[in-house]
Amino acid sequence: MKKAFVIVVCALLGVVAGYFAAQPASMWYIQSTEPDMFGAFAFTIVDSSIACNCENKPPNEAMKAVADDLSTLRRWRDLNRGSLILAQEIGLGYVRLSQLEQKLGNNTQADNDMKHGQEELAALGWKDVSSEHLTTLVKRMDSGYHEPGQNEKVTAVAH
């Protein structure tokens, strides 16, 4: 009877220890073996404002949100130097920040932000890093995040 009780207690302690140790162990494993996958996971945790159109926010508020997200992305990239996803999102984040700076009339800072974005994306091997192309690209990407208005129809497409 004592032996069975000890086995059950040890099994329960093992389950509890495994429950708490599994997540950090799997995070470490993925971060060390698949930096791009970890970068994608890390990016999904970032506030969604960097991956959406912030037109519903005042420019100052949207600019602060994008700047905060860029700071987070840069910190994660420092931990995951090989992540191409994080590098791409940083470049696109700078383009978004440049657009917001232009709205506020800070053209010098907007040019600096655009230059940082172009450098990030050119380092990844992007062929066309012109400001016109990047601005159009970010606007197209962000247009997918609009909530449907009252006049817009939402249709489902079956595949």
Q: How far apart are CA 72 and CA 132, in angstroms?
A: 26
* Domain-embedded: residue 97: yes
Residue 107 covered by a domain = yes
Amino acid at 51: A
Check whether 159 has a pLDDT greater than 60.
Answer: no
Range of the domain at 81: 34-143
> Does residue 41 fall inside a structural domain?
yes
- Predicted model pTM: 0.63
Q: Label residue 42 by pLDDT band (50, 70, 90).
A: low
Structure-block tokens of residue 42: 């890390």
Is 14 part of any domain?
A: no
In a domain, 25, yes or no: no
Distance of CA 119 to the CA centre of its chain: 18
In a domain, 125, yes or no: yes
**pLDDT digits 0-9 by tens, 61-98:** 888 888 888 888 888 888 878 788 888 889 999 999 99
Q: Count of domains in the chain?
A: 1
Which residue from 79, 97, 78, 89 is spatially nearest to 121, judged by alpha carbons? 89
